[in-house]
A = this chain, B = another copy of it.
Amino acid sequence: MPRVGLTPAGVLGHALDLIDETGPEALTLAAVAARAGVATPSLYKHVSGGLPELRRLVAVRVTEELAEALAEAVLGRSRDDAVEALLGAYIGYAERHPYRYAALPQAPQEDAELRRAAARLVGVIVAVLRGYGLDGTEAIHAARTVRATAHGFASLATGGAFQLAADLVVTQQRLVRVLTEGLRAWPTA
């Protein structure tokens, strides 16, 4: 049979395409194989761990992309300006790739590679917090606060949980305002 030149990266690419088009639920080995022009079992030659492994790869990739978007957004900015850019980039990524973002949370968290990617994401946040004079334990609490608000809004907004008619952009502005005020008044223990 003619080799189709599949690689692990190629399989991941098809997986991401599938997720983007039809949602995380649609990520099946059968669908990926069909898209790659290959029979399902052949995928195991490239992704030995099967579906769980593929999901893991997706989570790592998305986390990396998100961390990269955040890092780029805060370049050359500080304090409130950086926080606004950070939230904008976070929520913007989730809005541009809602299914991809939704594929994030149900990943196994004990994976080393995923933790490394997540650490980079947190690192960007912590770097921004230094502009508020925060470090050490309080920086961790503040980073969690930032992450919780960003994730909460992104998750609810992309999930369609905000039913009422009010403008989501305004809500995002309010969220940024609450966050920046909170960070400026943070108890610098």
Using CB atoms and an 8 Å cutoff, list the residues of chain A in contact with chain B. Answer: 23, 102, 105-109, 115, 118-119, 137, 140-142, 144-145, 147-153, 155-156, 159-164, 166, 170-171, 174-175, 177-179, 181-183, 185-187
- 13 CB contacts below 8 A, A to B, read A105-B155, A105-B161, A106-B155, A106-B159, A109-B159, A141-B170, A144-B171, A145-B174, A145-B178, A174-B186, A174-B187, A177-B182, A182-B182
Question: CA of A140 to CA of B179 in the docked complex: distance in angstroms?
Answer: 17
CA distance A140 to B164 in the complex (A): 8
Copies of this chain present: 2
Which residues of the other chain, B, contact A149 by a CB distance below 8 angstroms?
145, 148-149, 152
